[in-house]
Structure 1
Amino acid sequence: MQTKSLSRRKFLGTGATTVIGATAASALAAPAVLAQAPVTIKMQTSWPSSDIWMDFARLYIERVEKMSAGRIKFELLPAGAVVGAFQVLDAVNDGIIDATHTVPVYWYGKHKAASLFGTGPVFGGSATTMLAWFHQGGGKELYQELTQDIMGLNVVAFYGFPMPAQPFGWFKEPVTTVADVNGFKYRTVGLAADLMQEMGMSVAQLPGGEIVPAMERGVIDAFEFNNPSSDLRFGSQDVAKHYILSSYHQASESFEFMFNRDVFDGLDDDLKAVLEYGVEAASTAITALALDNYSADLVRLQEEYGVTVHRTSREILAAQLEAWDKIIPTLEADPFMKKVLDSQREWVERVTFYELMNSADLALAYEHYFPGKLKMEA
């Protein structure tokens, strides 16, 4: 983003009428605004150019550019164009790029608390529950405390798109017991790595574009990324044929739309609002596109590529909860992380009680209208 654009905007918005005089203000104002060059924001994502998540980033960009009447333009870049997928936080903080479309778990190495805003235990809350916690339950303020007060980062970020729970992953053979996965070399990220290690696996934390090559070389035995569409585009079906859905390792996550604070603060107030509330607009659009593509691509994986879809066994799901029980006290040794976890527990206990008590039994209704399609593992 160029400083000249910001300085000129401030001049035209504040000082010009004083210099030229009130009599000329009405003649100058409209042409001056129209003549301004758009502000260009360089946004690099953490995703390969082929990933559906690049399409999600474009949904956000399209909305912002239209709502800003063309006063904001984006230069959208895939992972690796400027920095690696896991380096986007540093790049935004340092002003190397203006913005990023990422997930907080990708900077988990900077502070473990980052994972609580994307891949924590969530205590039974869904991604929608936890995104609501971020906006209404104190999460936004805790995130600001982490990034501004504790880490001293020069960034501002907004959260959108409650992701469906992530699959347990891709395996060469079906697994149903904890013993089946003991000793596996497994790809995941963030606190999910601690969880899988607690269950007897060794973990490699890799960005999406490196997963399938690692599986081909035997660096890992199994992996998860996020969803059927991304997995299909990565070529997961070429290295494994058993796709196991449902897991507590990343039951809740949302995208992080992050901006360099100097870039953000240099914008007019209405453009700041467009960037912020554009996330909410895009969140709805992304959810619709995701449900359409994820479900259609799950069918493709089965019908076109011979993938067998399973649901994670109750034994493994129960073992994941027990592993979280061991990990949580170690996290709570950090006062800030305990504050976040306490806040999430309080929110989930109240909100999810309402959600569970009020929601219809969707599986019962689905089985009624589409009998025999659901295959629930023991």
Structure 2
Amino acid sequence: MVEKTISRRELLGASTFAGAAAVGVLSAPPVLAQAPTVIKMQTSWPASDIWMDFARQYIERVEKMSGGRIKFELLPAGAVVGAFQVLDAVNDGVIDAAHTVPVYWYGKHKAASLFGTGPVFGGSATTMLGWFHQGGGKDLYRELTQDIMGLNVYGFYGFPMPAQPFGWFKSPVASAAEVNGLKYRTVGLAADLMQNMGMSVAQLPGGEIVPAMERGVIDAFEFNNPSSDLRFGSQDVAKNYILSSYHQASESFEFLFNRDVFDDLPDDLKAILEYGVEAASTSNTALAMDHYSSDLQKLQVEHGVTVHRTPREILDAQLKAWDQIIPTLEADAFMKRVLDSQRAWVERVVFYELMNSADLALAYEHYFPGKLKL
């Protein structure tokens, strides 16, 4: 037998290892993988629309940030309920969440449109998303949805949409007189605006627009952006695309959640759902700038669409129509508070924005002369 001297360090290390192993054998509980929380989210968009891609950007970020503890079942418009019925479905617990816009439930309370497609006052969509987050809009939205309407929902806002085109017309229009009498598709307070200008308005979800144009139900229409319009097949029913308008100059996505579903989550997952909207807002904006611009080129080059800007006379007529509509909205005390809050924000913030911003058209014309036809 050969004697071996064991050091104190070796002795302690061995005893510690043995003790830990013994404790592990005797007391370690079985490790059970926790099943992820599955959130059924329906959008208000057809399956092929680019806004489904925007919704996917949101759920991809949330699922990664949650470490897989949240999973989504993403559904297009009509999978469970119609595009305009998602608020009711979330409220009733038929679905857990929705990706939509507030103007789609304008029929329940006109104030919904003030959180997406109200009077422009001079603020861009970015300006008005800032109002929602920093100017009091979030508190007013909570008051409307929960105190006034008693809805069992939470809503978060993201992605400041570029101003929506005046839309698709079979022939160019140069004056307010030429739009008088047209049958036109839009939604929300924009419907009131266009009716004030003499149009007959049909409020239709996106998937029904082109078929309505083909059947002669409408003469002209707008939806939102070149990518959605291209995918709808707008270029097959009209060849004049008129950009720039005050009818829906600022809008953002609304991410709706059933309040019971949301409240049952731990605090970290609640935060991921809420602040994931802000993360998606940035990625949505980048995706929109890429696709909206390239699809506008595609409409012109590949489909023979002529792109115009809305004539100044029609823009002036839109502002005058808003001047007539605003007092009727302010007859409602809550809506007056919302409009007062928005005006105060825009007066202060847009003064800074306009005074500080460079003349982008001047710079663009300098480097790409002759492309702009203003």
Tell whether the structures are fold-level matches, with TM greater than 0.5. yes
Write the distance in 2 (CA, Å) between the matches of 1:208 and 1:147. Answer: 25
Write the distance in 2 (CA, Å) between the matches of 1:344 and 1:81. Answer: 36
**Residue in structure 2 matching 1:153, options 131, 151, 154:** 151
Letter of the structure 1 residue corresponding to residue 359 of structure 2: D
Write the distance in 1 (CA, Å) between the matches of 2:242 and 2:65. Answer: 40
Secondary structure at 1:165's aligned position in 2? coil
Alignment map for 1:124-203 (pairs within 5 Å):
124-203=122-201
Do residues 215 (structure 1) and 208 (structure 2) align? no
Alignment map for 1:9-24 (pairs within 5 Å):
none
Unaligned runs of 5+ in 2: 1-23
Write the distance in 2 (CA, Å) between the matches of 1:267 and 1:157. Answer: 16
Instruction: Quote the residue 1:232 is aligned against.
Output: 230
Write the distance in 1 (CA, Å) between the matches of 2:89 and 2:352. Answer: 41
Write the distance in 2 (CA, Å) between the matches of 1:69 and 1:285. Answer: 20
Write the distance in 1 (CA, Å) between the matches of 2:289 and 2:85. Answer: 29
Letter of the structure 2 residue corresponding to residue 310 of structure 1: H
Write the distance in 2 (CA, Å) between the matches of 1:375 and 1:271. Answer: 49
**Residue in structure 2 matching 1:294, options 274, 292, 308:** 292
Instruction: Quote the residue 2:254 is aligned against.
Output: 256
Name the count of aligned residue pairs.
350
Q: Check whether the contact 1:122–1:344 (CA below 8 A) recurs between aligned residues.
A: no
Do residues 95 (structure 1) and 89 (structure 2) align? no
* Cα displacement (A) at 1:28: 5.2
Write the distance in 2 (CA, Å) between the matches of 1:153 and 1:307. Answer: 44
Alignment map for 1:292-371 (pairs within 5 Å):
292-371=290-369
Secondary structure at 2:256's aligned position in 1? strand
* Cα displacement (A) at 1:122: 2.7
Write the distance in 2 (CA, Å) between the matches of 1:27 and 1:84. Answer: 51
Write the distance in 2 (CA, Å) between the matches of 1:266 and 1:109. Answer: 30
Q: Check whether the contact 1:86–1:106 (CA below 8 A) recurs between aligned residues.
A: yes
C-alpha distance 171-70 of structure 1, shift in aligned 2 (>3 A): same
Q: What's the TM-score, normalizing by structure 1?
A: 0.91
C-alpha distance 28-129 of structure 1, shift in aligned 2 (>3 A): farther
**Residue in structure 2 matching 1:280, options 278, 281, 304:** 278
Q: Check whether the contact 1:122–1:130 (CA below 8 A) recurs between aligned residues.
A: no
Write the distance in 1 (CA, Å) between the matches of 2:289 and 2:198. Answer: 33
Secondary structure at 2:347's aligned position in 1? helix
Letter of the structure 2 residue corresponding to residue 261 of structure 1: R
* Runs (4+) off by over 2 Å: 26-29
Do residues 50 (structure 1) and 42 (structure 2) align? no
Write the distance in 2 (CA, Å) between the matches of 1:40 and 1:176. Answer: 51
Instruction: Quote the residue 1:270 is aligned against.
Output: 268
Write the distance in 1 (CA, Å) between the matches of 2:175 and 2:120. Answer: 23
Write the distance in 1 (CA, Å) between the matches of 2:268 and 2:104. Answer: 30
Unaligned runs of 5+ in 1: 1-22
* Cα displacement (A) at 1:274: 0.4
Write the distance in 2 (CA, Å) between the matches of 1:108 and 1:291. Answer: 28
Write the distance in 2 (CA, Å) between the matches of 1:38 and 1:176. Answer: 56
Percent identical pairs in the alignment equals 86
The Cα offsets for residues 60-82 of structure 1, whole Å up to 9 and x where unpaired, read as 00000000000000000000000
Secondary structure at 2:339's aligned position in 1? helix
Do residues 110 (structure 1) and 108 (structure 2) align? yes
Q: Check whether the contact 1:157–1:256 (CA below 8 A) recurs between aligned residues.
A: yes
Instruction: Quote the residue 1:242 is aligned against.
Output: 240
**Residue in structure 2 matching 1:61, options 41, 59, 62:** 59
Secondary structure at 2:165's aligned position in 1? coil
The Cα offsets for residues 247-302 of structure 1, whole Å up to 9 and x where unpaired, read as 00000000000000000000010000000000000000000000000000000000
Q: Check whether the contact 1:46–1:101 (CA below 8 A) recurs between aligned residues.
A: yes
Instruction: Quote the residue 1:4 is aligned against.
Output: none
Letter of the structure 1 residue corresponding to residue 89 of structure 2: A
Letter of the structure 2 residue corresponding to residue 159 of structure 1: Y
Secondary structure at 1:122's aligned position in 2? coil
**Residue in structure 1 matching 2:68, options 62, 67, 70:** 70
* Cα displacement (A) at 1:116: 0.1
Write the distance in 2 (CA, Å) between the matches of 1:122 and 1:188. Answer: 16
C-alpha distance 28-347 of structure 1, shift in aligned 2 (>3 A): farther
The Cα offsets for residues 106-145 of structure 1, whole Å up to 9 and x where unpaired, read as 0000000000000000300000000000000000000000
Secondary structure at 1:44's aligned position in 2? strand
Write the distance in 1 (CA, Å) between the matches of 2:100 and 2:29. Answer: 41
Write the distance in 1 (CA, Å) between the matches of 2:180 and 2:322. Answer: 17
Write the distance in 1 (CA, Å) between the matches of 2:40 and 2:120. Answer: 33
